[in-house]
Amino acid sequence: MRIIDAHSHCWIRPGSADASPARELVEEMDRFGIEKSLVLSTRTNLETLKISAFDPKRLFPVASAHPAGNLDSDLRAVEENAGKFKAIKLYPGYEPFYPSQPICEPVYEFAERVGLPVLFHSGDFASPSGRLKYAHPLHVDEVAVQHPDLRIVICHFGNPWIEDAAEIASKNENVFLDLSGLTGPPTKYSDRYFEHLARQVSGAIYYIGDAGKVLFGSDRPTTRVEDAIRLVEKLDVDEADRKLIFYENAENLFFKPRGE
């Protein structure tokens, strides 16, 4: 099965050779048969660009935008490297803002102008310092309604607000959901939680009635790639839909000119 990872993380570690994290990522992609990865970093956009340049046919940078930070320089990096970035990500909750706040408007206007999708962190965090009230997927609805031409991805399926996220994607034609980072760290109930998650996500897809809204993502290295793949394999959907989730939806959203 062909796979695009719509949500992987990679950054240059202090003291490590610049290319080694990118090489590790590509080796991991080879191991799991992943053709292309969208590369996210919470650090600078130029660093993400540099990592992705290691294998420009397979690694595609996603820019970060920090509405309360130096937004001009975030967006300038995208503008000056036209055609290289595949999306722009916002981190509500990791940073204290709601997606519907006016400070985010310049990002949406920019993304619409250059035709890039916007990704939102959503739901649970990798760190307890995150603020959940900002990260509830419900806040994305307002953005989707006000910007019908902006294509939006709610990351992590809004977990644990999976049904809420499904409703937002069901209601708004321009909203998609990624499956990254759902499986979580091991606990004594990991196996049962995994079964529960697969049922929950399958149910969300039935509610939407369209697997065309759902993208495979790993959130590596926080989540193990093999667990993320196993989750999609476990979903109770037909094989045509599994292909959409693993590959075709991301291909359409990030790699094809709009309208094709």
What distances in angstroms separate CA 214 from CA 29, 91, 160, 198, 227, one per listed residue? Answer: 20, 20, 16, 13, 17
Q: How far apart are CA 6 and CA 154, in angstroms?
A: 12
* 219 three-state secondary structure: coil
Residue among 203, 118, 193, 191 at smallest CA distance from 167: 203
* Token pair listed for 144: 């989707």
Q: How far apart are CA 8 and CA 23, in angstroms?
A: 14
x/- map, 3-42, Zn ion, by CB under 5 A: ----------------------------------------
Q: Which of these segments, 11-19, 163-171, 187-195, 213-221, binds Zn ion (CB under 5 A)?
A: 213-221
Identity of the residue, 67 or 123, whose beta carbon is nearer to Zn ion in the bound complex: 123
How many CB atoms within 10 Å of residue 220? 25
Q: How far apart are CA 100 and CA 146, in angstroms?
A: 9
Indicate whether 219 belongs to the interface with Zn ion (CB under 5 A). yes
What distances in angstroms separate CA 244 from CA 110, 135, 178, 189, one per listed residue? Answer: 28, 27, 12, 30
Q: Which of these segments, 56-64, 75-83, 193-201, 211-219, binds Zn ion (CB under 5 A)?
A: 211-219
CB of 2 to Zn ion, least distance (A): 22
CB of 239 to Zn ion, least distance (A): 27
CB of 259 to Zn ion, least distance (A): 29
CB of 7 to Zn ion, least distance (A): 5
CB of 240 to Zn ion, least distance (A): 28
Q: How many residues bind Zn ion (CB under 5 A)?
A: 1
Q: Which of these segments, 14-22, 187-195, 215-223, 248-256, binds Zn ion (CB under 5 A)?
A: 215-223
User: CB neighbours of 108 closer than 8 A, spacing ≥ 6?
Assistant: 118, 143, 146, 147, 150
Identity of the residue, 156 or 241, whose beta carbon is nearer to Zn ion in the bound complex: 156
Identity of the residue, 64 or 241, whose beta carbon is nearer to Zn ion in the bound complex: 64
How many CB atoms within 10 Å of residue 158? 26
Identity of the residue, 24 or 105, whose beta carbon is nearer to Zn ion in the bound complex: 24
Identity of the residue, 104 or 228, whose beta carbon is nearer to Zn ion in the bound complex: 228
Residue among 121, 67, 58, 49 at smallest CA distance from 89: 121
Q: How far apart are CA 48 and CA 12, in angstroms?
A: 9
Q: Which of these segments, 72-80, 128-136, 217-225, 251-259, binds Zn ion (CB under 5 A)?
A: 217-225
Identity of the residue, 164 or 219, whose beta carbon is nearer to Zn ion in the bound complex: 219
Identity of the residue, 215 or 241, whose beta carbon is nearer to Zn ion in the bound complex: 215
CB of 207 to Zn ion, least distance (A): 24
CB of 188 to Zn ion, least distance (A): 25
Residues near Zn ion (CB under 5 A) are: 219
